[in-house]
């Protein structure tokens, strides 16, 4: 299976007294995710893709944009993504998942930690960036993956 980790696009600045979970993507953030989605559509792994997203608004908005472009067959939220709890997400989803491609839309620093747990190498996920791993959920206590590709939105604009 392919496991894809993506950080949400650039979000609104957290204003005093506002709720972090309700921050939307900025217009620039939406544009960069759209560029990333356009690029991803060209090289996305074959097979059924499902999306698991953090329930925070900025991640959900990113997941929706990506889902349209890559024609995901299913999208749902999982609170363990927002909490950065890879062990729970693994037990609840990854070990049971039978689809060909799983896209997880989440947050830093958690995605970087997840990358380190899965591959042994951390990645500093910039907003809107995506990493694709060849992933075996049965290898090791949390599965094991080989990094195949990491792309940031600025690179995507150069490629398109």
The pLDDT, as a whole number, for residue 20 is 84
How many domains, the chain? 1
Which CATH number characterizes residue 55's domain? 3.40.50.1240
Whether pTM exceeds 0.85: yes
Given a contact cutoff of 8 angstroms between Cβ atoms, the answer to whether 57 and 105 are in contact is no
How large is the C-alpha radius of gyration of the chain?
Answer: 15
Domain that holds residue 83: 2-159
Averages of pLDDT over each 10 residues, the chain, 160 residues: 97 86 95 94 91 98 97 95 96 90 97 96 95 95 95 81
The pLDDT, as a whole number, for residue 156 is 78
Which positions ≥6 away from 7 have C-beta within 8 Å?
A: 105, 106, 107, 108, 111, 125, 126, 127, 128, 129, 130
Query: What is the SS3 assignment for the chain?
Result: CEEEEEECCCECCCCCCCCHHHCCECHHHHHHHHHHHHHHHHHCCCCCEEEEECCCHHHHHHHHHHHHHHCCCEEEECHHHHHCCHHHHHHHHHCCCCCCEEEEEECCCHHHHHHHHHHCCCCCCCCCCEEEEEEECCCCCCCEEEEEEEECHHHHHHHC
Given a contact cutoff of 8 angstroms between Cβ atoms, the answer to whether 87 and 62 are in contact is no
The pLDDT, as a whole number, for residue 154 is 84
The pLDDT, as a whole number, for residue 17 is 79
The pLDDT, as a whole number, for residue 157 is 76
């Amino acid at each position: 299976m392919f496991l894809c980790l993506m950080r949400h696009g650039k979000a609104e600045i957290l204003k005093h007294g506002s709720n972090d979970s309700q921050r939307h993507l900025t217009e620039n953030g939406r544009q960069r995710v759209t560029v990333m989605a356009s690029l991803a559509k060209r090289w996305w792994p074959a097979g059924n893709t499902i999306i698991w997203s953090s329930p925070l608004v900025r991640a959900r908005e990113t997941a929706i944009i990506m889902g349209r472009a890559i024609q995901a067959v299913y999208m749902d939220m999982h609170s363990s993504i927002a909490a950065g709890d890879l062990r729970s997400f693994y037990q609840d989803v990854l070990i049971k998942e039978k689809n060909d491609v799983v896209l997880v839309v989440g947050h830093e620093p958690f995605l970087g930690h997840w990358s380190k747990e899965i591959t042994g190498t951390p990645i500093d996920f910039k907003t809107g960036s995506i990493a694709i791993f060849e992933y075996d959920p049965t290898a090791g206590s949390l599965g094991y993956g080989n990094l195949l590709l990491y792309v940031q939105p600025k690179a995507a604009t150069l490629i398109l």
